[in-house]
Chain A
């Protein structure tokens, strides 16, 4: 289901580079989620234009990795953030 949907960072959720800690962080209502490189790479592609599958295809090419495995990881990551309401979908 999620793979065909188009994720978007809703208002009040933004990526931020924390200069003091040298880490990427996702700032959201009452939350600051520190991101690893993979999480940051995924969220950097979330633009409200491309579906999860399209983002997976792009990252698979960039990292020279199997697309299906990448799509699974991204789906899991995005579903978790959607449950926390820090990511939305354009059709919701």
Chain B
């Protein structure tokens, strides 16, 4: 029990209500094996998860999916989460969020909405999202959100095909009255990994994006906050994934499995407990999947002795798994990783494809769009 005292309580819960979504973005952060509707947790179970989370010390719930508006009980879940004492952030594509639903969410006490955008034009956004008319619908929803006064963050997922539109994306965020803009360059897990060759930006694009962000931050100080998640293959050091494994947040999947991060299921050596069988606190404090990479004992020698050990925590376990084939390896993005050459070789190969593909090519068949298996 000594460990239980030393492990801090989680701050945030990512509640993936469903994997259903009208969009089919080829970089979706959901797992490649999507969970079917019939195995989704029911309303009462989710409400119990929220109450357990509050008792543990969780402060914020990020209600996500898939598209959370695909759940008929979304308003009840938001209301229940607020009543339990959580700060409620709704992460949505906006598509499928009717005016009446938005008004009901407003009344239910949603604290903040994070709206995803796939592009700044219908041509780009609907191509990436694989859903014709999605952009138009999304812009209408964004206007309605502004009318309600619910604070808005625009989440722009960026890659080779739209990184050049970054200035226009910043303008869109301002026009929609967003308080925050997340410029989230695609991280290569799951579906994005399948489409990495078609999505990987070029070094020139990344260098330009950094300059644009720096200038826009200065120009919009106090009116628009810009968070920038760089494409980490071009970085010298890895991202501090999850602020350290099992230290600040947890993720509950549509069918109730509890993960240390949304991509953790890509690590085959881990098995995950469910909220339908084990109390949430026991999973957090005693679960093997959370213990696996918590702290520093699991780290490779180059991480153990590194002065950035407590800065980036060895980077992303899922990326180590995807690129090196060993989830306990140093994140191969790191310049100190003995596996950095694998990332460099990938970038070299993909840059050749990029020379042909930085232009916008709607209608292309380059993507493997996100989809459910045929039999679901």
Q: State whether these chains interact.
A: yes
Binding site for B on A (CB under 8 A): 10-14, 16, 18, 20-21, 25, 27-30, 32, 82-85
A32/B150 contact (C-beta < 8 A), A20-B9, A21-B9 known: no
Contact of B222 among A11, A14, A83 (CB under 8 A): A83
Given known contacts A30-B89, A82-B222, A83-B221, A25 and B180 CB-to-CB distance under 8 angstroms? no
List B contacts of A83 (CB < 8 A): 221-222, 225
Q: Does B112 lie at the interface of the complex (its beta carbon under 8 Å from any beta carbon of A)?
A: yes
B60 at the interface (CB under 8 A from A): yes
Q: Are B59 and A29 in contact (CB under 8 A)?
A: no
> Closest CB-CB distance, B222 to chain A, in whole Å?
6
Q: List 6 A-B contacts (CB under 8 A).
A: A10-B179, A11-B151, A12-B151, A12-B179, A83-B222, A85-B225
Are A32 and B151 in contact, with the CB atoms below 8 A?
no
Q: A29-B111, A29-B151, A30-B153 are in contact. Are A85 and B179 (CB under 8 A)?
A: yes
A12 to B151 alpha-carbon distance, docked (Å): 6
- Closest A residue by C-beta to B86: A27
**Are B57 and A32 interface neighbours, CB within 8 A?**
no
Decide if B373 is an interface residue (CB 8 Å cutoff): no
Q: What's the minimum C-beta distance from B111 to chain A, rounded to whole angstroms? A: 5
Q: A16-B59, A30-B153 known; 6 other A-B pairs, CB under 8 Å?
A: A21-B57, A27-B60, A27-B87, A29-B111, A29-B112, A30-B180
Contacts of B225 in A (CB 8 A): 83-85
Q: Given that A11-B151, A32-B11 are contacting pairs, would A25 and B59 also be in contact in the complex, using a CB cutoff of 8 Å?
A: yes
Q: Are the CB atoms of B111 and A85 closer together than 8 Å?
A: no
Contact of B87 among A10, A20, A32, A85 (CB under 8 A): A32
Residues of B within 8 A of A29 (CB): 89, 111-112, 114, 151, 153, 179-180
* Chain B residues, Cβ within 8 Å of A28: 112
Which one of A20, A29, A84 has the highest number of Cβ atoms from chain B below 10 Å of its Cβ? Answer: A29
Pair A27/B111 contact, Cβ less than 8 Å: yes
